[in-house]
Structure 1
Amino acid sequence: MTKQVSYLPAEWAEQSGVQLTWPDEQTDWVTNLDEVIPVYVHMAREIMAREKLLLVCRDKSILPDFLQEEQENLIIREMPVNDTWARDHGPVTLLEEGEPVLLNFRFNGWGMKFAACDDNQITPNLYQAQAFRAGVPLRDYSYFTFEGGAVESNGQGCLLTTSECLLSKNRNEHLSKNEIEFFLKTCFQAEKVLWLDHGFLEGDDTDSHIDTLARFCSEDTIAYVKCTDPSDIHFGALQKMEAQLQQLTDQDGHPFKLVALPFPDSIVDEDGQRLPATYANFLIVNQAVLFPVYGVRQDEEAVRVVASLFPDREIVPINSVPLIKQHGSIHCVSMQFPAGVL
C-alpha cells in the first residue's frame, strides 16, 4: 500500500526522542519512590544512548547527578505535574506530508479517577517552553478527552483501540461510538478503526488501554496477551479478545498475523490486590525495545517472543515491578516523538 499523505506513524518509525515525566514526593510514587527512581534512571540511560530524552519535572534539582549535566540528548523542562504518566498527558504526533504536527487532547485522569489539572497543561506548557523544534505546530483538540495509550497505529491507516476505554463514562460519553470513530478517522487521518470489545487487566485504572492488551509490531502483525489458565479471572475475557483479533482485517482487508505474549503469574500488592502486569506494555525506541519484566517464570519466554518480533532491535529488559505498583508499566510512563519533533 502507498503510504498516506497524513497518518499517525507507527511506534517503530524513526524517532527524535521520548518524553519521561519524573516522579517526586508530590506524586503518587511517594510511597515507593526509592524503588521506582532506579527504573526511571534505567529508562533514561537507555533512551539517551539512542535518541533525545525530553524530561519533564517539577524541579530539576531533584534529578540524579547524571541528569544535571548539559548533554546533547537531554532536554529538561520544569513545570507543575500531578503524576508521571507521559503516555497519556504527552502530545500525540501526526505526520502530514512528512512533517510532524503535535496534537493536544484533554487529559482528565482516566475519566476523572485522579487529579489531572496540572498534567492536562503539560503539553501546552511544553510548547510554550519551546521544548520542540521551531516550526512544529500544536493542534488543539482539548475539547476531546483522549490518552495516547488508548490507540495503536500500524502506520498504514489502521487504528486499534478498545470500546471499554473510548466509550467509558466521564470521557466523551456525549458522543456515540460512530461519532467517536468519525473523530478518530478525521483527527488521525485513519482509514480504519478496529475495536476490541473484550479483554481487561485486574488493577488497571485506564479502562483497558489497548497498550496493556495488544500492540502492533509491524504493519501486519499484532502481539497480544494470552491467558492459558482457565482458573484465572482473565481467561474468559482474553479468550474472547483473541477470537475477535482473529476476525480483524487491515486497511486492505487482509487478516493480521497474531503472536501471543505469555501471561505473567499473579503479582499482588501488600494488601493482596492483583497488579496489572503485562508484557504488552513495552516501548519501541531507535534500535531497541525497552521491555517490562517482573521477576516471574514467564519473563524469559516473553523476551524470546518479543525478540522474534523485532530481530533488528536490542531487547532491553527493565524491572517493572515498581511501576505496576502504581498500575502502569514502561509504555505508560513514556511518549515517543517521531523524527523532526525534538
Structure 2
Amino acid sequence: MDMDGTPSLHGYYMPAEWEPHSQCWIGWPERPDNWRNNAVPGQSVFAKVASAISKFEPVTVCASAAQWEKARSQLPENVRVLEMSMNDSWFRDTGPTFVIGRSTSFSCPAEPKVAGIDWTFNSWGGIDDGCYPDWSLDLLVARKILEIEKLPRFPQSMILEGGSIHVDGEGTCLTTEECLLNKNRNPDLTREQIEDQLKAYLGVRKIIWLPRGLYGDDDTNGHIDNMCCFVKPGVVLLSWTDDEMDPQYERAVEALSVLCNTTDAKGRKLEVIKLHVPGPLYMTEEEAAGVSQDDAKPRLAGTRLAASYVNFYIANGAIIAPQFGDQKWDNEAVFVLSKAFPYHEVVRIEGAREIALAGGNIHCITQQQPRFPHSIVNHDGIGADNIAKT
C-alpha cells in the first residue's frame, strides 16, 4: 500500500536502533565479483550473524532462487528463509527504512503502526561511481519486503542508503557530508533540501553533519555507520585511532571537534566514546585472487579495508559485534561495547573480515524491523521487557 505525503505527516518517525524489534532482515551473498571464492566464506559469516541474532529476535534471510537451498541448509531452523532476487546483499542500504507511528497519531485502531520508506538506490554512486552497473533488482527489495509484511510504503525519489543515517529516536540524525552531499547521489538537491527530506521522512528535527566517514570507505563514500553511531540519546561512539600517522586520525579528530561543539535536538551536549579501529588491515593477494573481475568494482590486493567496530547490530538485548582477528583491538572493542551497553550481551562474530573484504560489515548487511507498541526504553538503550531477561 503506497502512502501519499510524508511519514511525518502521517505521524511516523524512525525509532532508535536499540528500541525493540519484531525481526531482522538479512540478504544472502552470492555474486563472485564481490564475494571471494564464490561467496562461500562470506556465506559462512552471514550464517553466523543470522544465527547469533536469531537467539534474541526473529530473523528472515532472503536468498535468490539459485541460493535458497544453500542458505536453508546453513541456517538454523528458527531462521525464516525466503526467495528473493537481488543484485547484492546489503539490506541496510537496499531494504526499507522502517518507521513507527506515534500512538497519539492513530485515530483508527486498525491503522498500521509500522511502515517503511523506500528510498531510491543507485549502487552507491550510479554508472560512473557505483559498485556495479545493474541495480535493477535492488530497487525492488524494499518494496518486496513491505509487501511481504503487508506494511504501508512511503516511496521516496531521493537517493539514500540506510547506512548513511543514524538516529537517536528523539529527533536527532547523524550523517556525513562526504556521502549525502556527494554529487553522485542527488546533484540537484542542496544541503537544506536534503535536510528537509530527512526531517519529513525520519521525523527528526536536527541533522548533525560529520565532514567525512571512515578512511578507506570509498565504496559508500563515507557512510556514517562505519564512523559514528548513537549509544543512547546524548551519547555516541566514534571510530578512533591513536596513531597520528594513520589517515583515519585526521578524520577522527575532525569528527570529534564537530561532535564536541554541537548539541542534539533536545539541546544536550554530546558525550563521545572512542572506539579504536582495528589494524590497519589490507586485502591480501590470495583474497583478491578469489574475487572474479567481472561487473563489480575491482577488489585489489593491498587495498585498506574499511574495518570498524562501530559497524555492529543492536538486537533485542544483544550487540552483535564484528571481530577482525586483531586480538588487541577485538578485545578492546568488546570491553568498550560492554560498558556502553551494560544491559546487552556482546556477541562476537569471528571472521567479520570476510564482510569487510566486500565493502561493509554487520550493520551493513542487517535491517531491523521495529516492534509496535514499543515497550518503555530506558537510557541504557534497552526495553524494560528485555532488562528482565538479562
Query: Would you say same fold, with TM above 0.5?
Result: yes
Choose which of 171, 185, 202 in structure 1 pairs with 2:185. Answer: 171
The residue number in structure 1 matching 2:97 is 92
The residue number in structure 1 matching 2:281 is 267
Shift of 1:27: 6.3
Q: TM-score, normalized by length of structure 1?
A: 0.92
> 2-side partners of 1:8 and 1:47: how far apart?
21
> 2-side partners of 1:160 and 1:29: how far apart?
29
Choose which of 300, 324, 331 in structure 1 pairs with 2:363. Answer: 331
**1:31 partner amino acid:** N
Choose which of 73, 76, 84 in structure 2 pairs with 1:79. Answer: 84
Residues 191, 314 of structure 1: alpha-carbon distance in 2 compared, 3 angstrom cutoff? same
When structure 1 is superposed on structure 2, of 234-243 and 285-294 the one drifting more is 234-243
1:240-251 correspondence runs (5 A):
240-251=254-265
**1:321 partner amino acid:** R
The residue number in structure 1 matching 2:388 is none
**1:283 partner amino acid:** Y
Shift of 1:188: 1.3
The residue number in structure 1 matching 2:154 is 139
**1:96 partner amino acid:** G
Shift of 1:121: 0.8
> 2-side partners of 1:77 and 1:306: how far apart?
32
The residue number in structure 1 matching 2:342 is 311
The residue number in structure 1 matching 2:195 is 181
* 2:329 maps to 1:298: yes
Choose which of 124, 135, 141 in structure 1 pairs with 2:143. Answer: 124
Q: TM-score, normalized by length of structure 2?
A: 0.81
When structure 1 is superposed on structure 2, of 199-208 and 79-88 the one drifting more is 199-208
Unaligned 5+ runs, structure 2: 1-10, 104-112, 285-300, 374-390
Whether the aligned pair in 2 keeps the contact of 1:26 and 1:82 (CA below 8 Å) is: no
* 2:302 maps to 1:287: no
Cα-Cα RMSD:
1.9
Whether the aligned pair in 2 keeps the contact of 1:24 and 1:30 (CA below 8 Å) is: no
For residue 234 of structure 1, give the secondary structure of its aligned residue in structure 2. Answer: helix
The residue number in structure 2 matching 1:219 is 233
For residue 46 of structure 2, give the secondary structure of its aligned residue in structure 1. Answer: helix
The residue number in structure 2 matching 1:8 is 14
Structure that is richer in strand per residue? 1
Whether the aligned pair in 1 keeps the contact of 2:216 and 2:305 (CA below 8 Å) is: yes
> 2-side partners of 1:186 and 1:104: how far apart?
14
Once the two structures are superposed, residues 101-160 of structure 1 have per-residue CA deviations (whole angstroms, 9 ceiling, x without a partner) of 1111111101121232111111112334x2x1x4x211111x111110111110101011
Whether the aligned pair in 1 keeps the contact of 2:215 and 2:251 (CA below 8 Å) is: no
**1:281 partner amino acid:** N
Identity level (%): 30
Whether the aligned pair in 1 keeps the contact of 2:100 and 2:114 (CA below 8 Å) is: yes
> 2-side partners of 1:146 and 1:92: how far apart?
10
* 2:44 maps to 1:38: yes
- Say how many residue pairs are matched: 330
The residue number in structure 2 matching 1:276 is 306
Shift of 1:66: 5.4
> 1-side partners of 2:275 and 2:33: how far apart?
31
1:146-157 correspondence runs (5 A):
146-157=160-171
Whether the aligned pair in 2 keeps the contact of 1:18 and 1:52 (CA below 8 Å) is: yes
Once the two structures are superposed, residues 38-81 of structure 1 have per-residue CA deviations (whole angstroms, 9 ceiling, x without a partner) of 21111111122221112111021221425485x4xx33321221
For residue 173 of structure 2, give the secondary structure of its aligned residue in structure 1. Answer: strand
For residue 102 of structure 1, give the secondary structure of its aligned residue in structure 2. Answer: strand
> 2-side partners of 1:127 and 1:13: how far apart?
20
Once the two structures are superposed, residues 215-271 of structure 1 have per-residue CA deviations (whole angstroms, 9 ceiling, x without a partner) of 001011101011211111222122111111111201121201110001211111121
Once the two structures are superposed, residues 167-212 of structure 1 have per-residue CA deviations (whole angstroms, 9 ceiling, x without a partner) of 1122111000011101111111211111111343214311111100
Whether the aligned pair in 2 keeps the contact of 1:226 and 1:242 (CA below 8 Å) is: no
Whether the aligned pair in 2 keeps the contact of 1:7 and 1:156 (CA below 8 Å) is: no
> 1-side partners of 2:74 and 2:303: how far apart?
36
> 1-side partners of 2:275 and 2:345: how far apart?
18
For residue 29 of structure 1, give the secondary structure of its aligned residue in structure 2. Answer: coil
When structure 1 is superposed on structure 2, of 306-315 and 194-203 the one drifting more is 194-203
> 2-side partners of 1:25 and 1:237: how far apart?
32
Unaligned 5+ runs, structure 1: none
When structure 1 is superposed on structure 2, of 39-48 and 86-95 the one drifting more is 39-48
For residue 312 of structure 1, give the secondary structure of its aligned residue in structure 2. Answer: coil
